[in-house]
Amino acid sequence: MTVTIVGAQLGDEGKGALVDLWGGDAEIVVRYQGGDNAGHTVVDGDTTYKLSLVPSGAVRGKVGVLGNGCVINPATLFDEIDALRAQGIDPDVRVAERAHVILPYHRVLDGLEEDRKADTALHAGTTGRGIGPAYEDKAGRRGIRIGDLLDPAVLEERLQYVVGYKRAIARDVFGLELTEAFDEDHLFDLLSGYGQRLLDEGMPIDAGTYLTEAIDRGEQVLFEGAQGTSIDIDHGIYPYVTSSNPSAGGAATGTGVGPGVIGDGEIVGIVKAYLSRVGTGPLPTEMLGDAADVADEIREVGGEFGTVTGRPRRIGWLDLPMLRHAARASSFTGIAINHLDVLAELETVKIATSYHLDGAEIDTVPPTTEQWARCDPVYREFDPWPSADWDAVSRRGYGALPTAAAGYIDFICDALSVPVYAVGVGPKRSQTIMVEHPFHL
């Protein structure tokens, strides 16, 4: 059986906590898109593990797979594996041979392009990890794949074409003085070294076959989406998006497991009880002006600063049109709601239930970002709830939630016609109330 975890909003919904909670019953945890732009923190007792690429389940003794839909920076991958080994964990990580590689020049080009866009409406505020430029090369059929690192003759041939191309862009378009990131011999030595290490550690796999065989043997597989639906390259607020598909379709194309198999399993949307955003672009429910104080409060209590970049996140009220869009695009079978504790003690709590757009009322996200920027949220106010001993609430279960907080959750579930599987009331592993376990349904 499979369970797919999908970010229902803008990333940073606290997916890691649920992967951690439910991944315990899985044999394999798989990432299907993105790269080291994702940041997750796994807390185990007194030890904290910071990961951006290695699937978080690998910390708990699961096999961690990076699917073909990922873009992999081998430097980050090996740094994370080495750091885990230094902390006494030897993670079992497998990498799809079809996955693309982030090269040093991708990061340089990410920075150059962001600088050039800085004063324009196109500035996306990327994480600077080279994600977009790597996917660009994938689509442009000039990318280097993990499998290419394993065969020096193929690697040499691929580099010969692409490095000349990248040098020309960096020098002639951006006026860059070229560094070793654009040197073919340097890149060949670096990448073939990575290839050798991948082989020595037995990491390369044909992900689709590997995973399908495991599922056929009756193993449980958890697909761990990174980022969120509203920054999906197809379903998000283009161009303020990441360059992959966090929505559930990505779990099929990004691993080689068929959509029928993914759809036969559970697909759980992870919802933060409010919105947070690290990048640029419109955000209709953003708390600005008079609401800026509330945003500051939420930012402080919720620790809303980027895991990868440290940037303060923008804060908004929960947006139901955004959630309806995500639930449809990914066929959510259930949702988990996180950070409910962060809203405790506010004077009022709001949810945008629909938008006014150009004189009409709509209840989902419009197709263009310009239309979305013109959307005026229609709010419904909810009774606030008091703070609580959240440890005790998590021990006692859903029924112990403050009544108004439970009403807030019920409203969201009714609006989306999906059940709630879990509620997060704090950052600790023990502070998630499990209502249903998707592997046991």
What's the min distance (Å) between Cβ of 126 and ligand IMP? 4
DSSP state of 431: G
Q: Which of 3, 8, 9, 12 binds ligand IMP (CB under 6 A)?
A: 12
Among 2, 4, 9, 37, binds ligand IMP (CB under 6 A): 37
Q: Which of residues 42-81 bind ligand IMP (CB under 6 A)?
A: none
Verify binding: residue 9, ligand IMP, rule CB under 6 A: no
Closest contact distance (angstroms) between CB of 164 and ligand IMP is 25
Per CB under 6 A, 131 contacts ligand IMP: yes
Minimal distance, residue 102 CB to ligand IMP, in Å: 11
Q: At what angle do helices 152-168 and 184-200 cross, to 10 degrees?
A: 140
Q: Which residues of 203-240 are buried (b: 16+ CB within 10 A; e: fewer)?
A: bbbbbbebbbebbeeeebbbbbbbbbbbbbbebbbeeb
Closer Cβ to ligand IMP, 132 or 265, answer by number: 132
The verdict on 126 binding ligand IMP (CB under 6 A) reads yes
- Contact pick of 191, 273, 275, 278 for ligand IMP (by CB under 6 A): 278
If the CB atoms of residues 42 and 131 are measured against ligand IMP, the closer one turns out to be 131
**Residues constituting the chain:** 441
- Give the separation between CA 59 and CA 13, rounded to whole angstroms: 20
Backbone angles phi, psi at 90, to 5 degrees: -115, 90
What is the rounded CA–CA span in Å between residue 423 and residue 435? 8
Q: Token pair of 359, please?
A: 């004189």
Q: What gap in Å lies between CA 255 and CA 32, rounded to an integer?
A: 6
* 318 is a contact residue toward ligand IMP (CB under 6 A): no
Nearer to ligand IMP, 238 or 398 (CB): 238
Tokens of 403: 């009544």
Site map 214..243 versus ligand IMP, x via CB under 6 A: ------------xx---x--------x-xx
H or E element at residue 154? helix 152-168
Which residue is associated with the tokens 């709630």?
Answer: 420
Minimum distance between the CB of residue 235 and ligand IMP, rounded to whole angstroms? 13
Residue 40 a catalytic site member: yes
Which residues contact ligand IMP (rule: CB under 6 A)? 11-12, 37-39, 124-127, 129, 131-132, 226-227, 231, 240, 242-243, 278-279
